[in-house]
Chain A
Amino acid sequence: MNVLQKILRLHWLSFVVMLGMGIAGYYFIKSATQMSDMPELIVAPRQQLLWLMIGLFVYFTLALINYEFVLRCAPVIYGGMVCILIFVLLAGTEVNGAKSWIRFAGVSIQPAEFSKIAYIIGLSWFLLQFQEHIKEFWVICVVIVSMLIPVGLILKQPDLGSAAVFLPITFIMLYVAGVRKRYLCIPVIGALLLCWLAFFVIYKAKWDGTLQDTLRGLRDGIVWTVPGNHFAAQETLEATSVAPIKKAKASPKLDAVLSLEKVENKKVIILKPYQLDRIRTFFNPNLDPLGSGWTIRQSLIAVGSGGFKGKGYLKGDQNIYGFLPKNIAYNDFIFSVIAEEWGFVGGSILIAAQGLLILCLVTIASRAKEMGGALLAAGMTGMLFTHFFVNVGMTIKVVPITGIPLPFISYGGTFLVACMAGLGILQSVWIHKKAY
């Protein structure tokens, strides 16, 4: 296959959708930064365009390389990724309290974004190597360990959002690889349990690290979840106050077992206070409208006031008047700006376009010549899907606020190039797809 043949066999739909979103992103960033006077915001749209060019170069380069070669390099890529992540912790640049940047010759990059792609390649290679043992538990253990290495390093920066993306990527890749369902149930149940804890312990019991709060939250949660108590407790939960559920409603036996009052109040802090606040304001944005609830409230107002048709390009009041904080409007909260300017029409078109691109990846996965390509596509699907769902979801109160960008649209050169690199590899998978 020569170069021309390869180019003719490209998956053009995904390319057009991707490029379209990339170019649209340039205009959205321009709108989001229109009222800014900070130098780094003023140059942002043009930089994004520059990164898009670089991204296209990387995209086509990788598309024209056989992905199997990339897969063969996987151990090196994974190893290099771990090294760079360690390097960031040692010699990175700190921005906004997170040491996640490498500055080199005037260019700043975020290795954490590239590490996702590297991890996908690494995991694809590993699962491909041990395809026959996929039903065995040790494979999963190894996968988890290989995941925890980059996750740990990224958490150390700290960048909770990027680290969290590794979980769904791994989950989807394992699922596509054909891991036993029962193993996959564990993270699902775990996630539900976390939601349960977040609601009862962090939100309702106002957990601030003490064991007593934990136990009280657990007790209330159990009281509410046990079917017999359901309706009695429901009323209390529906009451607008966030005060803990009254003791009278709780089972005295449970109290005795937990011996709530005797518990020592020693603080065990896993999450930072601002992260706890984010979780709480997710459940109730009006809890602290001027503090931690400010962003989600303003985002909702921006999106909601856009209405069906939107206010028109460059006419988003929430953005112009600075109620949507300027330093996040052009990256993590770009969807609020878009939805305000373009309304439900524009917002749903964007969601549909993102969904279409992801479905393209699923198609690429299903047409892959062999398992390695399918896993690469599944991993990319997982990554783009997580970014898309969480980013859009947080602006419209479907998920709690997490600082991860919207693929191809949010400002952020590293992530843009990383995503385009990933899609480039998938183009290669598509070029070498199986023939019916």
Chain B
Amino acid sequence: MLIDNPVNNADVRLKFLGLSVLVAVGILIFALYKIQVKEGAMYATSLRNQTTVPVVLSPARGSILDRNGVGLAENKASIDVDVYLRELVGYYSRSKKGKLPKTNVPGQKAQMPNVPLILQESAGDIFSQLAFTRTFTDKELLNHYYQTPNVPFQLVHNLDFTQLSKFSERTVNIPGIQESARPVRTYNFGALASHLIGYVGRVEEVSKSEFVPESIGKEGLEKTLDEYLQGKPGYKMLRKNNVGYILGADAIQQPSVGGTVYLSIDARIQQIVEKTMRRVGRGAAVVMDPNTGDILAMVSVPSFDPNSFVPSLDPKEWRRLVADSTKPLTNRALSPYAAGSTFKTLVALAALSNPKANFTPKTIIYSPSAVFLANRWWPDWPNNVLGGGNITLHTAMEWSTNTFFYQLGIRTGIESMVQMAKKIGFGEKLLVDENNNPIIGGEQAGQMPGPQWMEDKETKQIELWKARKKRDPKFKIPRTWRERWSDGHTANTSIGQGYVEVTPLQMAVMISAVANGGDVLYPRLVRAITQMEGSETKLLKEYPVRKRAELGIKPEYLKALKDGLRAVVQTGTGKKASIGEPDFLISGKTGTAQFNSFIQGSLMKDNRTWFTSFAPYDKPRYVVVIMVEGGVSGGSTSAPLASEIFRGIHSMEQGTPIEMSYLNPAKGNYAGVTSMPPVTGDPSLTGAAATQTMPTELLDPSSPIIPEDESENATGASRTIQEFMNRRTR
């Protein structure tokens, strides 16, 4: 019936219906193909983004050990509370149906979620209940959210056990907040060798793409060896569900521990020297092994406690450190100072090595209390009774006779001195590796004057003036004589005055060369860097003993010079350095450089007093260089310090155990600084007037002086603060 009725031909319509079904199936399969096969990867990425949280696992920073393996900088575990900000914000947004409080961030065009508010609403109660102190600003929180969303934000540091258990009970329902143990840098002996080791701090400027370590070396070896100390970060993928609960973790890569740095420092000697140097307000000491160039101890006073920089320094404390005019952050052992009489050793070396000088240890030079040279009289230091007359190098060294060295300097000539200084490394940075890269920041070259040096200096000054004139047409180039090198300069340089500036380390290198028989060795601070790979220790880098030059002096001449240095301690100006041990005879040279500095706005007498020495006399194993700012004289201020250090080292060698203790930072002061004496003549030409009687201490040594605003130091310091603040706000 159906078939026979052409009008009601349902068959055709059913065929059309069947066709429509096929078309619909085709449409669905095509759509499915498009989503699953063509765009599948895109959706898989979306899935990964919403079900996983990538977390960076911070590597543990490598340790810094002394030459015997005593840990100076290591890690300890700190229990922190972390918040994964992206999770927290995501959860908050979902629970509020996508409505997020927004806030403006300076420097960003788009508005950002108000993370501080969200954190406050999510966890504020718990935090106030547990009395957590808030150590971060809203801005830090926002910056962290913007810059490093994958790195958890550390809300609280160093939870104690009760806090931890209370905290764990209460935060189970807040996604993104969890406690974690992480390695934190710790300096086992506080201020011990703080200038060498430096400190770590938070990374301030970060780029979004790269891994951001939790801490980065900011100063000292922590900074220069950062690439070795930082291990490689690890990664971990956390799986989370639709409301942000972490369901599990797929660890992909474990972080590696950073390299271990072995220093040349001997922590025991460092401890002895640190404790000794605390007796002065400002100063530096270097102990060196003359046979290898190993720096066994290097101390600068005042110092700081690097632990106070971890994880970040209180801005107030930072401001105090920077504003402190005694400069606790400066490593004085690597800073240049007027050398004074210790420089005479170099003059002697130059003369002995220069055949044209026609000088031997037996050469007698008449040295009255004053000599006439370069059109003026040059006096010896007052009351030098025993060191005058017809004397040889031996006596001249013993009594530090200025008039002898004026003449000797002119006799050998400035060029010869410059050559010798170049061999030793005066005017150069010495703590460098094979490629001349500094091993530690903050080392200064100092300066060794000479005719060429003066030529360059004057040319540079004139060029500076010209450049200034170009910028500022009102500026008038001063009408002044171009300073040229003269015998006067040579004479003045011969006693370490004038333009000579030497670092205690350079001085130690020179004395080492004398002590070891003529080899100038590069100082060595780092012996090796190793890294654990699995169970094996791999040598990352080795720093071999490196010879810099040879003095080129006949051994018998050098022996005579050493005899002279021995006489200084035996009978001469450095008697106070002796420790009275026959097997540990000390040789050395005192030095007192006249110096004036602006302290509290007025010019003050602030001598640099030196003692450079080595011991034992026969086979020297230790070189000790002491430099004290504001001391009375090398013999009376620095030599006793060296004596104490030698005594400590000697008893250590005899087997007395050295008690290693945590050191608080040494406080700086202006002890020994006196007001200026009435000026008689040119103060720079009065020679090493070492024995001048000093009035009572003007300033209370117990309280460090904060300079007033008009003082040079203070303006310098406040500018540094300004720079620091700028850097932080940038």
- Mark A residues whose CB is within 8 Å of B: 131, 134, 172, 175-178, 288-291, 300-308, 317-318, 321-323, 339, 343-344, 347-348, 351-352, 354-355, 358-359, 362-363, 365-366, 368, 370-371, 374, 378, 381, 385, 389, 392-393, 396-398
Contact = CB atoms under 8 A, between A and B. Distances in A.
A175 B18 CA distance: 13
B25 A304 contact: no
A416 B470 CA distance: 95
B68 interface: no
B97 A304 contact: no
Interface stretch (B39-47, B378-386, B395-403, B574-582): B39-47
B50 A323 contact: yes
A392 B39 CA distance: 18
B21 A347 contact: no
Interface string B19-63: 001101101110111011101111110110011000000000000
Given A176-B13, A303-B43, A308 B50 contact: no
Contacts of A371: 1-2, 8, 10
Contact of A362 (B14, B25, B28, B240): B14
Contacts of A354: 25
20 contacts: A134-B8, A175-B13, A175-B17, A303-B32, A304-B35, A304-B43, A307-B36, A317-B47, A323-B51, A344-B36, A351-B25, A351-B29, A352-B25, A355-B21, A362-B18, A365-B14, A371-B2, A371-B10, A374-B2, A398-B31
Nearest to B48: A305
Contact of B32 (A176, A317, A385, A396): A396
Q: Nearest 7 CB-CB pairs, A to B? A: A304-B43, A290-B98, A355-B25, A322-B242, A305-B47, A307-B40, A344-B36
A288 B25 CA distance: 30
Contacts of B37: 307-308, 344
Contacts of A368: 2
Main secondary structure of the interface of A (DSSP, over half): helix
B97 A305 contact: no
Contact of A321 (B2, B18, B239): B239
Contacts of B39: 304
A381 B17 contact: yes
A74 B241 CA distance: 51
Contacts of A374: 2, 10, 14
Given A290-B93, A307-B36, A317-B51, A378 B28 contact: no
Contacts of B94: 290
B36 A358 contact: no
Max chain A C-beta neighbours (<10 A), residue from B9, B37, B242: B242
B11 interface: yes
Contacts of A348: 29, 32-33
A397 B2 contact: no
A129 to B, nearest CB: 15
A177 B46 CA distance: 49
Interface of B: 1-2, 7-11, 13-15, 17-18, 21-22, 24-25, 27-29, 31-33, 35-37, 39-44, 46-47, 50-51, 93-94, 97-98, 239-243, 247
A428 B260 CA distance: 86
Contacts of B7: 178
Nearest to B3: A434
A339 to B, nearest CB: 7
B243 A176 contact: no
B13 A178 contact: yes
A131 B28 CA distance: 35
A123 to B, nearest CB: 15
B36 A339 contact: yes
Contacts of B35: 300, 303-304, 396-397
Given A290-B93, A344-B32, 13 more contacts: A176-B17, A288-B98, A301-B43, A301-B47, A305-B40, A343-B36, A351-B25, A351-B32, A359-B18, A368-B2, A381-B21, A397-B31, A398-B27
Contact of B21 (A290, A307, A359): A359
A176 B14 contact: yes
Nearest to A363: B18
A297 B121 CA distance: 29
Contacts of B24: 355, 385, 389
A323 B90 CA distance: 13
Contacts of B15: 366
A307 B43 CA distance: 9
Nearest to A325: B242
B240 A351 contact: no
Contacts of A396: 28, 31-32, 35
A339 B97 contact: no
Contact of A301 (B50, B243, B247): B50
A292 to B, nearest CB: 10
A368 to B, nearest CB: 8
A347 B36 contact: yes
Contacts of A359: 18, 21-22
Contacts of B98: 288-291
A323 B97 contact: no
A304 B17 contact: no
Contact of A370 (B1, B17, B93, B239): B1
A176 B242 contact: no
Nearest to B94: A290
A317 B43 CA distance: 12
Contact of B247 (A321, A347, A358, A366): A321
B87 to A, nearest CB: 14
B240 A300 contact: no
A314 to B, nearest CB: 16
A404 B96 CA distance: 28
Nearest to B98: A290
Given A291-B98, A304-B44, A371-B10, A362 B31 contact: no
B32 A347 contact: yes
Given A176-B10, A303-B32, A321 B242 contact: yes
A175 B13 CA distance: 7
Contact of A306 (B11, B21, B40, B51): B40
Contact of A305 (B10, B44, B243): B44
B715 to A, nearest CB: 56
A304 B241 CA distance: 18
A393 B240 contact: no
A301 B46 CA distance: 7
Contacts of B25: 351-352, 354-355
A321 B11 CA distance: 50
Nearest to A371: B2
A74 B30 CA distance: 40
Contacts of B47: 301-302, 305, 317-318
A370 B42 CA distance: 52
A304 B27 contact: no
A398 B28 contact: yes
A321 B247 CA distance: 9
Contacts of A304: 35-36, 39-40, 42-44, 46
Contacts of B10: 176-178, 365-366, 371, 374
Contacts of A397: 31, 35
Contacts of B17: 172, 175-176, 362, 365, 378, 381
Contacts of B22: 355, 359
A137 B33 CA distance: 43
User: By CB atoms of chain A within 10 A, which of B2, B8, B17 has the most?
Assistant: B17
Nearest to A356: B25
A354 B36 CA distance: 19
Nearest to A293: B98
A321 B51 contact: yes
A354 B32 CA distance: 15
A183 B241 CA distance: 52
Nearest to B96: A290
A392 B28 contact: yes
A18 B190 CA distance: 80
Contact of A322 (B18, B43, B93, B241): B241
